[in-house]
Amino acid sequence: METAIFNVPSISCSACSSKIEENVRELKGIGNVYSDLKSQQVKIEYNPSDISPQEIKKHIAQMGYEII
């Protein structure tokens, strides 16, 4: 497992944060997902042979959250 950290400034409340966590967890090759409302960061463990950070990023963007 590798860890990727994304800055997601549009996380504005705990509902955003849990929505992102739940959705990302459903993807193949994802381990722990931790999203922090205060720092507006999402920390994601992933298996590089299943999924790339680019794909994770795209998935989060499709949910309507921009990543910087």
| Pick from 61, 55, 42: nearest CA to 3 | 42
Question: Contact between 68 and Cu ion (CB under 5 A)?
Answer: no
Among 9-17, 27-35, 47-55, 60-68, the segment contacting Cu ion (CB under 5 A): 9-17
Smallest distance from Cu ion to CB 45, Å: 23
Separation of alpha carbons 29 and 37, rounded Å: 24
Separation of alpha carbons 28 and 7, rounded Å: 21
Question: Contact between 16 and Cu ion (CB under 5 A)?
Answer: yes
Smallest distance from Cu ion to CB 26, Å: 19
Separation of alpha carbons 25 and 10, rounded Å: 19
Interacting residues with Cu ion (CB under 5 A)? 12-13, 15-16
